[in-house]
Chains A and B, each alone.
Chain A
Amino acid sequence: DTGVSQDPRHKITKRGQNVTFRCDPISEHNRLYWYRQTLGQGPEFLTYFQNEAQLEKSRLLSDRFSAERPKGSFSTLEIQRTEQGDSAMYLCASAKGATNEKLFFGSGTQLSVL
Chain B
Amino acid sequence: DVKVTQSSRYLVKRTGEKVFLECVQDMDHENMFWYRQDPGLGLRLIYFSYDVKMKEKGDIPEGYSVSREKKERFSLILESASTNQTSMYLCASSPPRTPAYEQYFGPGTRLTVT
A and B: partners? no
Residues on B lying within 8 angstroms of A by beta carbon are none
